[in-house]
């Protein structure tokens, strides 16, 4: 799938979703970033913007990135409406082709999983390299299939945190893994149904 096809796919996804008001943040982001100092944050695959808005409300300056211009435009409008326009900037990127400029104290990649092929390991490697010393890369992936997931393939393999870390292939002299685990939680689906799901959580800190 080309960049234009992938962009059109995700534009259609977000354009088809009704405006349900302000989106909420992801649980793991709140859990982990809530204990960090403030600075500049990069939200990769920002989607509807719940994480971006939450970070901005905590005092972070946030760059929100998505392949979908529909998504980034909505996030920008939500930020302006919430009085957070000075803390939030948005950019449309196909992360397999380009990566936002800048240096960050936090890069968040929440469920950066997609039905089209792209060099995700390369994008996460670029994210780690964009960190300031002491900054953290937070990666949260699906570790199980929820009843409402679009892909119900029983043979689908969810890479473990250790497999993802090996794929990023970072020099341990510069980056250290602070967390790599697979906690469970009860999640709520789009129609209000609940199910236990697994998250694959990775926290990598730049030490040099």
Residues 174 and 151: their CA atoms lie apart, in Å, by: 36
Give CA separation, 145 vs 91, 157, 196, in Å. 30, 10, 10
User: Looking at the DSSP assignment, which residues form a beta bridge with residue 61?
Assistant: 40
User: Where exactly are the structural domains of the chain?
Assistant: 3-206
Identify the CATH number of the domain defined by range 3-206: 3.40.50.150
Q: What is the mean pLDDT of the chain?
A: 93
Non-local CB neighbours of 184 within 8 Å, separated by 6+ positions: 196, 197, 198, 199
The per-residue pLDDT for 20 is 59
The per-residue pLDDT for 150 is 74
Are 179 and 203 within 8 A, CB to CB? yes
Residues 125 and 201: their CA atoms lie apart, in Å, by: 16
Q: What is the pTM of this model?
A: 0.93
Beta strands in the chain (DSSP E): 40-44, 61-66, 88-92, 104-110, 131-142, 175-181, 184-188, 194-206
> Average of pLDDT values for 158-171?
97
| pLDDT, tens digit, 9 for 90 and up, residues 77-129 | 999 999 999 999 999 999 989 999 999 999 999 999 877 788 999 999 999 99
Which element (helix H / strand E) includes 78?
helix 69-81
Tell me the DSSP string of 18-67. ---SSPPPPHHHHHHHTTSPP-EEEEET-TTSHHHHHHHHHT-EEEEEES
Question: Whose CA is closest to 107, among 68, 88, 135, 134?
Answer: 135
| pLDDT, tens digit, 9 for 90 and up, residues 33-67 | 999 999 999 999 999 999 999 999 999 999 999 99
Residue 15: which pLDDT band, with cuts at 50, 70 and 90?
A: confident
């Amino acid at each position: 799938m080309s960049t234009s096809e992938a962009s059109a796919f995700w534009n259609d996804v977000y354009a088809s979703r009704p405006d349900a008001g302000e989106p909420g943040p992801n649980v793991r982001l709140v859990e982990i970033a809530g204990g960090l100092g403030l600075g500049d944050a990069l939200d990769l695959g920002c989607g509807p913007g719940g994480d971006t808005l939450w970070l901005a409300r905590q005092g972070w300056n946030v760059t929100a990135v998505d392949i979908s211009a529909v998504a980034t435009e909505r996030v920008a409008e939500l930020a302006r409406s919430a009085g957070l326009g000075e803390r939030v900037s948005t950019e449309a990127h196909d992360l397999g082709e380009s990566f936002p400029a800048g240096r960050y104290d936090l890069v968040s990649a929440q469920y950066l999983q997609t039905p089209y092929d792209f060099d995700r390991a390369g994008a996460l490697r670029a994210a780690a390299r964009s960190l300031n010393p002491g900054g953290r890369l937070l990666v949260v992936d699906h570790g199980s299939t929820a009843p409402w997931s679009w892909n119900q393939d029983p043979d689908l393999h969810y890479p473990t945190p250790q497999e993802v870390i090996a794929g990023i292939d970072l020099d341990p002299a510069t980056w250290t893994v602070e967390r790599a685990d697979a906690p469970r939680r009860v999640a709520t689906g789009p129609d209000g149904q609940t199910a236990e799901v697994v998250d694959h959580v990775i926290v990598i800190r730049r030490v040099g």
